[in-house]
Amino acid sequence: MLKKPLAVFLLLPVITGLTFVQEGIAQEIDLYTTTPSLIENNTIVFDGIRVEGIQDLSIENDVVKAEFVFDPDTLSFVLDRDNVVFYKDVGVFHELCMFKDVDSAQPSYIATVEAKTGKRGEETFVPAGQQIIAGEDTTYEFTITGSTPFVADFNLQIGNVISFYFSSVKVTSGVKPRPNVKYGFTGPNTEVEGTIEHRYKGLLKPIKILADGEYQLKVEPRNPEDSVTFKLNTFNANNRLITQLTVDEKKKSQRLREKFAKNAWDYAKFRVTLNPGDSLEVPALEKKRSSDGGNWEKTNEKNQNLAIKLVDKTSHIVAYADDFQILRHQNTTGRTNDYYLCIYDKVGGGADYSGYVFILAEGEEKPKPKKPKPKPKPKPEPDGPVDNGGPVDNGGPGDNGEPVDNGEPSDETGPDDEEIPDDFEFEPIPDDIEDEPPTSEEPDTSPPPDGEPQPFPFGEGQ
């Protein structure tokens, strides 16, 4: 079976080439999770082909990388049999969302030049050759020249999704306009390269790691005589453990709360099991209005980039939602299936997500929320003077025999008034007495936040 066919002149070499490389016949070839790329103007690379039946490959866990070179004699692309790569045990993924867990939330790297971090006047320095931990909260500044380029060595594993955010790029050069800066990221069957302009500020595309091993990022000025200063933030988007979604039997829901890193690729991942006929509903973020106050327009601009994606065990998208839309999917396959949910910011802007996920059996409706108890009505104020058996105050000052507080000190004292000695000291209030938290008359009727996503149990770095 061949899914999502492309042009025949490309498909025939895929089938023939892969069968030629490994004896046997492929039972299934799936190009859904691969994105073709053109290199050297004559070679097309398919990285992420799902194959069943070759070299014990499983279409659910393994992928293949294949290159096809244009043959001018036959006017077709021919498989380069020497460059077929088999990636084992990569698991389910689609674009930046990889659902395989990794050993540590953030990797570390070792750079060949000194790193500086911290506010001006409070900087700390990491000497060249010492370990630097990747992560959202720390940005490092580096200064390089043509003779001393920036080289960072990483030890990465299958499932890492690496992002690089460059900022404050300053090129010092005698040439106008100022030349750009080159970068390259290399590793096992991986080669990404590009350029960065003077004053550049931006996030590079996410890099999925499909093979364990040593990787390297290199940054150097295009003109060897130039010097360059830049800031770099390195982040692993796959930094959470996968969480199984389960719902309360009565409320049929589970609350999700996720905070995503800013200026970095970041996502939350979940597994959900749906029986035949079951439906999944993942709400969108609530769109703010002017009546909500605050900077509601900026909040909407950030939150509209939040995306929700549901894929099956073959890494095919079965449902997708963004721009404040609700994700819904019903299992109509007639069998119980596992699905994989990915919530992420499409531009790395640091959006936050909060909502109740519902799993409903066929024909079942969402429970209606309980109506909150009405607030007690305030007691009406009496219109006239109250007769409590004592003297009546009819509005005249001092008519009931009580002293009048007119802002002046009074010489009159009551029976309980005592003169305070000059040497009297007040007893201090103990420090361990805490104020009682304020209470609300309106009860909270929202479902309890059971089933929160698991925090990452590992320490940063390796």
Q: Residue range 290-317: average pLDDT?
A: 89
On the question of pLDDT at 447 being above 60, the answer is no
| Domain boundary, last residue among 38, 61, 89 | 89
For residue 327, the model assigns a pLDDT of 96
**CA–CA separation, 131 vs 369, rounded Å?**
52
**CA–CA separation, 134 vs 106, rounded Å?**
6
Signed CA dihedral, 89, 91, 94, 96: sign only = negative
Give phi and psi for 10, each to the nearest 5.
-95, -35
Same domain, 129 and 160: yes
**CA–CA separation, 355 vs 447, rounded Å?**
11
Same domain, 113 and 229: yes
Q: Which residue's structure tokens are 């839309």?
A: 325
**CA–CA separation, 250 vs 94, rounded Å?**
33
Which tokens in the block code for residue 340? 């994989």
Same domain, 251 and 342: yes
**CA–CA separation, 374 vs 367, rounded Å?**
21
AA letter at 266: D
- Evaluate whether 87 touches 64 at the Cβ level (below 8 Å): yes
Same domain, 230 and 266: no
> Is 328 exposed, middle or buried (CB count within 10 Å of its CB: 0-12, 13-18, 19+)?
middle
For residue 422, the model assigns a pLDDT of 52
Same domain, 227 and 119: yes
Whether residue 20 lies inside any domain: the answer is yes
| pLDDT category of residue 221 using cuts at 50, 70 and 90 | very high
Whether residue 292 lies inside any domain: the answer is no
Q: Is the bond preceding 455 in cis, omega lying within 30 degrees of 0?
A: no
Q: Which residues are CB-contacts of 180 (< 8 A; sequence separation ≥ 6)?
A: 171, 195, 196, 197, 198, 222
Give phi and psi for 291, each to the nearest 5.
-70, -15
Same domain, 51 and 113: no
50-93 pLDDT tens trace: 988 777 888 899 999 999 999 888 888 898 988 889 999 999 99
Instruction: Give the structural domain span for 33.
Output: 2-89
Same domain, 270 and 196: no
**CA–CA separation, 200 vs 171, rounded Å?**
10
**CA–CA separation, 248 vs 448, rounded Å?**
9
CATH number at residue 310: 2.60.120.380
- Evaluate whether 271 touches 340 at the Cβ level (below 8 Å): yes
Strand partners for 214? 155
For residue 449, the model assigns a pLDDT of 46
On the question of pLDDT at 246 being above 50, the answer is yes
**CA–CA separation, 44 vs 10, rounded Å?**
10
Q: Count of CB atoms within 10 A of residue 166's CB?
A: 19
Longest dimension (CA), the chain: 119
Same domain, 147 and 229: yes
**CA–CA separation, 460 vs 134, rounded Å?**
8
On the question of pLDDT at 16 being above 70, the answer is no
For residue 25, the model assigns a pLDDT of 53
| pLDDT category of residue 295 using cuts at 50, 70 and 90 | confident
Same domain, 112 and 223: yes
Nearest to 22 by CA among 45, 46, 55, 49: 55
pTM over 0.75: no
Q: DSSP per residue over 260-304, as a string? A: --BTS--EEEEEEEE-TT-EEEEPPPPPP-GGG-SSHHHHHHHHT
**CA–CA separation, 163 vs 209, rounded Å?**
11
Nearest to 325 by CA among 343, 301, 307: 307
Q: Residue range 195-207: average pLDDT?
A: 92
For residue 385, the model assigns a pLDDT of 60
On the question of pLDDT at 459 being above 60, the answer is no
24-47 pLDDT tens trace: 555 678 888 887 888 888 899 998
165-184 pLDDT tens trace: 999 999 998 888 888 999 99
3-state secondary structure of 207: strand
The better pLDDT of the pair 450, 143 is held by: 143
Same domain, 274 and 355: yes
Give phi and psi for 301, each to the nearest 5.
-60, -35
For residue 396, the model assigns a pLDDT of 47
| Domain boundary, last residue among 360, 393, 412 | 360
- Evaluate whether 211 touches 158 at the Cβ level (below 8 Å): yes
How many domains is the chain built from? Answer: 3
* Residue 294 Ramachandran class (φ > 0 left, ψ -120 to 50 alpha, else beta): left
* Residue 452 Ramachandran class (φ > 0 left, ψ -120 to 50 alpha, else beta): beta
**CA–CA separation, 74 vs 78, rounded Å?**
9
Whether residue 447 lies inside any domain: the answer is no
Percent over 70 (pLDDT), the chain: 76
| pLDDT category of residue 276 using cuts at 50, 70 and 90 | very high
Angle (CA) 37 43 46, round 5°: 45
Same domain, 221 and 279: no
Nearest to 368 by CA among 248, 255, 251: 251
Rounded mean pLDDT of the chain? 81
Same domain, 129 and 83: no
Whether residue 459 lies inside any domain: the answer is no
**CA–CA separation, 151 vs 185, rounded Å?**
10
Which tokens in the block code for residue 294? 């605050």
Could you give the residue ranges of the DSSP H alpha helices within 6-132?
A: 8-21
The better pLDDT of the pair 138, 361 is held by: 361
Whether residue 425 lies inside any domain: the answer is no
Whether residue 427 lies inside any domain: the answer is no
For residue 317, the model assigns a pLDDT of 95
For residue 409, the model assigns a pLDDT of 46
